[in-house]
Structure 1
Amino acid sequence: MEEGAEKHKKHLAMVERLSKRSQRRSENAESSSSILSQLSQLKSSIESQLAQSLSSDPSDPSKLKLHFQNISQSISELEQLVAQNSYSLPSYDVRTSLKTVSDLKNSLDLLTAQLIPRKKFSFKNKPTATKKDDSAIPQPKQLSTLNSDFPTHHSPGFANKTSELLVADFRDSQVGEFTLSDLDSCQVRIIGSVRALFVHRLKNSTLYVGPVTGSVHIEDVHACVFVIASHQIRIHAATKSDFYLRVRTRPIIEDTNAVRFAPYCLTYPGIEEDLRAASLHDETGNWTNVDDFRWLRAVQSPNWSVLPENERVGIVDISNFQNGDNDL
């Protein structure tokens, strides 16, 4: 009798949990509709501003520059709205919204180049030497540094790199969206704070990131190591990867397996001030409270686990890496 009562109790608990999850998803759907409506209205306003550019008086460059600055600010507001609400939106709507932001930035770039030509943003590359092997970190062949002195409507990032050390230092600049895509066997170090981070198609790579004041979206990664502090993080289609996190909300995984989680372990000069400014100075413990959106049973998802302490990398100081020094 007692065994039957216990089973019944567990069944009721599971039914209640599934009911609450269904209710949350219904509430999220209503919230998503409102957010998408705001995004659509702002997009239409920006498109209207872009159309007005062609009828502007080209003999008054100062007025035209101010007009472009206003458009850039509107695009930044749209970008920030996506970042702030990406945790509530389905992955498809997030990708669509990001594509919209990218298209609007490209349109502004084309108009700016047509009406006010100027020097384009570029990356700088220089060789580096590796001092010793570290089993936890792939050793790169080349160092790429990001010149952060870019126009506000450009979206910085690294893409299509193999076996490179990629460094971006944003301690003295304001950065919105930062994107990493199609990287193989690379090390990425982002020093300072960014508002949103988007990661696509990485394998055998290591990513060290200072505070992200908004959301992190990671999709299609394999055999990678991520060290990230952020307010929100969503992981889709990740396999055999480790995540060292400090996060304000529960991490979300979807269509993901064989991933492990541990606490944030990054340091560099000034990181405590950066974390405090981003409201990420306190350890919440949410790195171990992972939600698997594809796992509806009452027991923990088998798709993720806590990384054993004896397998963790320890504190990583990326200040040693800025000039090609790979020692930990």
Structure 2
Amino acid sequence: MAEAQILEGSRWNFSQNFLNDFQYTHSDLQMHIQQATQSGSISKQALDSLNLQLAELSKSIVDAAGFIPKYDQRKCENQLKEIEQNLERLRKTSTPVSRFAFKRKTKEARQSSFSVFTPSVTQSLAPTPSLALSSYTIKLITPKDLPDPESIAPELRSELSINDLDSCILNLLDAKQYEISALHIHNIKNSILLLPVLEGSAILHDLVNCVVVVRCHQFRMHSSQDIDVYLSIQSNPIIEHCSSIRFAPYPSTFPPTNLQHNSDFPVQDFSHIKSTPSPNWSVLVEGASKSFEDWQSILTIDASDVEQVLRKALPRV
């Protein structure tokens, strides 16, 4: 009995680690394909590098079969098919160039000698997540603004998309009924984001003058500026094409109160691959971070006071 429990615990740990690593690589690959698609041109070397990452990702799913839940395996396979189709579309529509260099940024531990292959397209794109918040201005947003969880299939509740907010306060600290494990956030301005505790990743693009509070396994921010990030994380946070990003520990006033709060942030800046300190981020100095009273005013805000609280709380007034 004890041996069976140990085996089950090991299987669960493997499953969680695999899914976290898979989502990290999947998101990284998506980002580079999107960048190449927007530029309209890509070199053969860069395309081969993308194909290699896709091959590694495909083999990792095959190797993990039988060790992860069937639902998670199907979800990973659908995400892989989406990447296959996007990459195939990129190959057909891009104009070849000779000076585009693609640098791989996956974890060193995942590097291996898998052979390069050209993926085939077998199915259409996977459906986009049904759980989404989009297009709000000067609004207090809470879990009440999310769709009724009973109206969403359980497999579609784990990922939340947040897009196009301006001058909003979003408080999803109590959105436990959705079991959100991953966040995809785009185009947020002059806003405060109090995000749910995540077992997976928070991936943020195009934020300006915001406060972000999150506890997650992986944190990635792209093309953002003037952001205060209050963070608890199990890996190194990553930024790219960012400036004036300030990091601070996750507020001790927020649940869970028994959290081991980080005091050191070994941030990886993909736009500053040098031995010198990055000029794009810093640690929020003591006295500049928000106090207990500051957080309480945000947590207890009335919908009519959004603009007033934002004027006091944002990094750039």
Structure 1 residues 177 and 77, CA, compared in 2 at 3 Å: closer, same or farther?
A: farther
Which digits, 9 at most, give the CA deviation of each residue in 1:24-67, with x for residues without a partner? Answer: xxx99966532156679xxxxxxxxxxxxxxxxxxxxxxxxxxx
Instruction: Report the equivalent of 1:164.
Output: 139
Structure-to-structure mapping, 1:73-92, within 5 angstroms: 74-75=74-75, 78=78, 88=106
Instruction: Give the Å deviation of 1:74.
Output: 3.8
Once the two structures are superposed, residues 256-299 of structure 1 have per-residue CA deviations (whole angstroms, 9 ceiling, x without a partner) of 1111111111645xx32xx88xxxx323445x211101112211
Match of 1:301 in 2: 278
Q: Tell whether the 8 Å contact from 2:252 to 2:261 is kept in structure 1 after alignment.
A: no
Instruction: Show CA shifts across 1:218-257 (max 9, x none).
Output: 0011001101110100010010111010011110000011
SS across alignment from 2:142: strand
Find the aligned partners of 1:28 and 1:296 in 2 and give their Cα distance.
21
With over 3 angstroms needed to count, the CA separation of the structure-2 counterparts of 1:204 and 1:285, relative to structure 1, is same
Q: RMSD over aligned Cα, in angstroms? A: 4.2
CA distance in 2, matches of 1:285, 1:177: 28
Q: Cα offset for 1:210?
A: 2.5
Secondary structure in structure 2 of the residue aligned to 1:283:
coil
Secondary structure at the residue paired with 1:308? Answer: coil
Cα deviation digits, residues 107-150 of structure 1 (max 9, x gap): xxxxxxxxxxxxxxxxxxxxxxxxxxxxxxxxxxxxxxxxxxxx
3-state SS, counterpart of residue 300 of structure 2: helix
1:184-203 mapped onto 2 (5 Å cutoff): 184-190=166-172, 191=174, 192=176, 194-203=180-189
Helix, strand or coil at the partner of 1:311: coil
- Matched residue, 2:251: 265
Contact 2:220–2:237 (Cα < 8 Å) also in 1: yes
Residue 195 of structure 1, CA deviation: 0.5
Name 1:33's counterpart in structure 2.
55
1:194 is displaced (CA, Å) by 1.8
- Relative to 1, partners in 2 of residues 1:184 and 1:249: Cα closer, same or farther, differing over 3 Å? same
Q: What is the identity, as a one-letter code, of the residue corresponding to 2:300?
A: N
Letter in 1 for 2:228: D
Q: How far 1:104 sits from its partner (Å)?
A: 2.6
Identify the match of residue 237 of structure 1 among 216, 220, 223.
223
The amino acid of 1:240's aligned partner reads D
Kindly tell me the number of residue pairs found equivalent between the two proteins: 201
1:39-118 to 2 correspondence within 5 Å? 74-75=74-75, 78=78, 88=106, 103-105=125-127
Residues 81 and 205 of structure 1: is their aligned pair in 2 closer, same or farther, counting only changes over 3 Å?
farther
Q: Tell me which structure has the larger Cα radius of gyration.
A: 1
Question: Residues 71 and 31 of structure 1: is their aligned pair in 2 closer, same or farther, counting only changes over 3 Å?
Answer: closer
* Closer/same/farther in 2, CA of residues 237 and 312 from structure 1, 3 Å limit: same
CA distance in 1, matches of 2:171, 2:124: 23
- 1:80·1:176 contact (CA, 8 Å) conserved in 2? no
Shift of 1:308: 1.8
* Deviation of 1:80 (Å): 11
Per the normalisation by structure 2, the TM-score is 0.52
Tell whether the 8 Å contact from 2:214 to 2:230 is kept in structure 1 after alignment: yes
Task: For residue 105 of structure 1, report the CA deviation from its aligned partner.
Answer: 2.6
**Alpha-carbon shift at residue 216 of structure 1 (Å):** 0.5
Aligned to 1:182, the other structure's residue is in SS state: strand
Aligned-pair identity (%): 27
Per the normalisation by structure 1, the TM-score is: 0.51
In the other structure, the counterpart of 1:24 is none
Question: For 1:201 and 1:160, how far apart are their aligned partners in 2?
Answer: 10
1 or 2, which has the higher strand percentage? 1
Match of 1:18 in 2: none
**CA shift for structure 1 position 307:** 1.0
Q: Aligned in 2, Cα 1:263/1:284: closer, same or farther, shift over 3 Å?
A: closer
Aligned to 1:150: none
Partners of 2:235 and 2:251 in 1: how far apart?
18
Partner in structure 1 of residue 5 of structure 2: none
Give unpaired runs (5+ residues) of structure 1. Answer: 1-26, 41-69, 90-100, 107-153
1:283 matches 2:261: yes
1:266/1:224 Cα in 2 relative to 1: closer, same or farther (>3 Å)? farther
> Given that residues 160 and 183 in structure 1 are in contact (C-alpha distance below 8 angstroms), is that contact kept between their aligned partners in structure 2?
yes
Change (3 A) 1:30 1:300: farther
Conservation of the 8 A alpha-carbon contact between 1:79 and 1:176: no
